[in-house]
Amino acid sequence: MSTISSQDDLFASLGLASQASGTNATNRVDELGISTFLKLMVTQLNNQDPFKPMENGEFLGQIAQFGSVSGLDKLNNSFESLSASLTSGQALQAGSLVGRDVLAPVDTAYMNPGEAVRGQVELEQSSPQVTVRVTDQVGQLVRELPLGTAPPGALKFSWDGMDDLGNSVAPGYYRFEVQALQGDRPVTLQTKLFSRVESVNLSGISGLTLNLEGLGPIAFNNVQQIY
């Protein structure tokens, strides 16, 4: 019966070539590399029960299992690298949004003196009467803006900060509700407001968020248009 006299002979019998001692890669202490794995396998072979030797199938199965784990580890590293690249690209794009106006599906905005709040609604069908109602933080009606007849599609509106008596309102948050008469009943539409991007945040749990002037943070995925 043939014997294996050295570790190199063992590698040769398995169709493997051992590296020269001067070129062996040093494994990290928290990682199991192929060199460490083979050393463990050799130790296992040298100390196995001679009456119950390890079968070739078990040995090859362990090698295949190690190869699968190693491949998954490389795949994870590739995904991490791809994720980092995507995040960097997203950061560059997000930086270009600062100072620009975006349209988001929100119904509350902060009124600054001397400025106007702009918004938009989407009509699925034409309406003979569309009305915007502006209320303060306690729900009191401040201004009612009749927009008249509107065809299907996007309909923009603007509030100049005046109440129904023509007086300037106090700075603060105001809520917008848009109703359209469709058929014989009024339908409340999804209000969308324009706001300026003050800053961006990439570290939030929801991903990229935009800090909008007067509206606060909003997920970038909720932004519908950029101007």
What is the spatial distance between Cα 49 and Cα 27, in angstroms, rounded to a whole number? 30
Q: What is the pLDDT of residue 184?
A: 82
Tell me, yes or no, whether 65 and 108 share the same domain: no
Would you write out the chain's pLDDT as a tens digit for each of its 227 residues?
A: 444 455 555 455 544 555 554 444 444 544 555 666 667 667 766 776 666 665 555 655 666 665 666 666 666 666 666 566 556 666 666 677 888 889 999 999 989 888 899 999 999 999 999 999 999 999 999 999 999 999 999 999 999 999 999 999 999 999 999 999 988 889 999 999 998 888 888 765 667 788 888 778 888 888 888 88
Domain boundary among 94, 114, 135: 94
Contact 171, 112 (CB under 8 A): yes
Domain boundary among 60, 94, 128: 94
Tell me, yes or no, whether 110 and 218 share the same domain: yes
Tell me, yes or no, whether 73 and 129 share the same domain: no
Q: Give me the domain span that covers residue 83.
A: 7-94
Q: At what angle do helices 34-46 and 56-95 cross, to 10 degrees?
A: 160
Tell me, yes or no, whether 116 and 219 share the same domain: yes
Half-sphere exposure of 11 (CA within 13 A, CB side): 13
Phi, psi of 173 (to 5 degrees): -90, 140
User: Quick one: which of 103, 110, 99 has its CA closest to 199?
Assistant: 99
Contact 159, 191 (CB under 8 A): no
Q: What is the pLDDT of residue 202?
A: 73
Tell me, yes or no, whether 115 and 83 share the same domain: no
Dihedral of CA atoms 197, 202, 206, 208 in degrees, nearest 10, equals: 40
Tell me, yes or no, whether 21 and 117 share the same domain: no
Tell me, yes or no, whether 105 and 71 share the same domain: no
Q: What is the pLDDT of residue 23?
A: 46
Tell me, yes or no, whether 117 and 90 share the same domain: no
Q: What is the pLDDT of residue 95?
A: 72
Q: Mark out the alpha helices in 14-106 (DSSP H runs).
A: 34-46, 56-95
Q: What is the pLDDT of residue 225?
A: 85
**Could you give the number of structural domains in the chain?**
2
pTM over 0.75: no
Q: Is residue 105 part of a domain?
A: yes
Lookup: tokens for 154: 């996007």
CATH number at residue 107: 2.60.40.4070
Tell me, yes or no, whether 51 and 119 share the same domain: no
Q: What is the pLDDT of residue 129?
A: 94
Q: What is the pLDDT of residue 30?
A: 46
Tell me, yes or no, whether 112 and 220 share the same domain: yes
Three-state SS for 104-152 is: ECCCEEEECCCCCEEEEEEECCCEEEEEEEEECCCCCEEEEEEEEEECC
Strand partners, 130: 148, 180
Domain boundary among 59, 94, 129: 94
Tell me, yes or no, whether 194 and 83 share the same domain: no
DSSP state of 197: E
Q: Is residue 1 part of a domain?
A: no
